[in-house]
Structure 1
Amino acid sequence: MPRSPYRPARLRRAFFRGSDAVRAGLLTPDQLRGQAWRKLYRDVYVDAAVPVSYALRCRAARLILPGGGALTGVSAACLDGVPIGEPDDLVHVIAPSGTRWERRGCRLTRTPYLPADHLVPGELPRTIRLRTAWEIASARNVLEAVAALNVVFRHQRPSRRAMDPWVAADPESPAARAIDLADPLAESPQESRSRVLLVSAGFPRPTSQYELHRAGRFVARFDLAWPEARVAVEYEGEVHAERIGRDRMRLNRIHDAGWEVFFLTKEQLREPARFRIFCDQLRRALARNRAYDK
Structure 2
Amino acid sequence: MRSPLPDELLGRPFLGSQAVRTGLLTPGQLRGPAWRRLYRDVYVDARVPVDHRLRGRAAGLVLPPGAALGGRSAACAEGLPLGDDRAAVLVLVPRGVRFSRRGCEVRQVFLPRTHVREGVPGTLPPVTVPQRTAWDIASEPDLVEAVAALDVLFHHHYLQPRHLDAWIAAAPDAPAAKALALADGRAESRPESRVRVRLILAGLPQPVPQYEVWLGRTFAGRVDLAWPAAKVALEYDGAHHAEYGQFTRDRARLNRLVEAGWTVLHMTARDLREKILFAQIVHQLRVALASGGMADSI
Common fold: TM-score over 0.5: yes
Partner amino acid for 1:118?
H
For structure 1, list consecutive stretches of 5 or more residues without a partner in the other structure: none
Which residue, 264, 267, 272 being the options, matches 1:264?
267
Distance of 2:234 and 2:112 partners within structure 1: 43
Q: Which residue of 1 aligns with 2:253?
A: 250
State the Cα deviation string for residues 55-78 of structure 1 (Å, max 9, x = none).
322221112324431112223223
| 8 A contact 2:289–2:295 mirrored in 1 | no
Distance change >3 Å, CA 247–CA 270, structure 1 → 2? closer
Deviation of 1:86 (Å): 4.7
Normalised by the length of structure 2, the TM-score is: 0.85
Q: How many residues align?
A: 288
Q: Secondary structure at the match of 1:63?
A: coil
Distance of 1:121 and 1:283 partners within structure 2: 50
Q: Which residue of 1 aligns with 2:15?
A: 17
Q: Secondary structure at the match of 2:293?
A: helix
State the Cα deviation string for residues 8-56 of structure 1 (Å, max 9, x = none).
4553334223455566675566644432112323442101133334332
Is 1:51 matched up with 2:10? no
Distance of 2:150 and 2:295 partners within structure 1: 37
Q: Which residue of 1 aligns with 2:164?
A: 163
Partner amino acid for 1:258?
G
Distance of 1:240 and 1:128 partners within structure 2: 37
State the Cα deviation string for residues 133-180 of structure 1 (Å, max 9, x = none).
111211222222212211211233221111111111111111111111
Deviates more, 1:213-222 or 1:270-279: 270-279
1:78-227 alignment to 2 at 5 Å? 78-111=76-109, 113-123=110-120, 124-227=125-228
Q: Which residue of 1 aligns with 2:75?
A: 77
Distance of 2:41 and 2:192 partners within structure 1: 39
Distance change >3 Å, CA 24–CA 275, structure 1 → 2? same
Distance change >3 Å, CA 141–CA 39, structure 1 → 2? farther
Is 1:284 matched up with 2:284? no
Distance change >3 Å, CA 105–CA 269, structure 1 → 2? farther
> CA RMSD, aligned part only?
2.6
Q: Which residue of 2 aligns with 1:38?
A: 36
Distance change >3 Å, CA 175–CA 291, structure 1 → 2? closer
Deviation of 1:99 (Å): 4.1
Distance of 1:34 and 1:155 partners within structure 2: 40
| 8 A contact 2:229–2:294 mirrored in 1 | no
Distance of 2:295 and 2:169 partners within structure 1: 40
Distance of 2:115 and 2:251 partners within structure 1: 52
Distance of 1:271 and 1:116 partners within structure 2: 45
| 8 A contact 2:42–2:58 mirrored in 1 | yes
Deviation of 1:200 (Å): 1.0
Normalised by the length of structure 1, the TM-score is: 0.86
| 8 A contact 2:116–2:128 mirrored in 1 | yes
Q: Percent identity?
A: 52
Deviates more, 1:173-182 or 1:27-36: 27-36
State the Cα deviation string for residues 204-252 of structure 1 (Å, max 9, x = none).
1000111111122111111101011111111110223332345423222
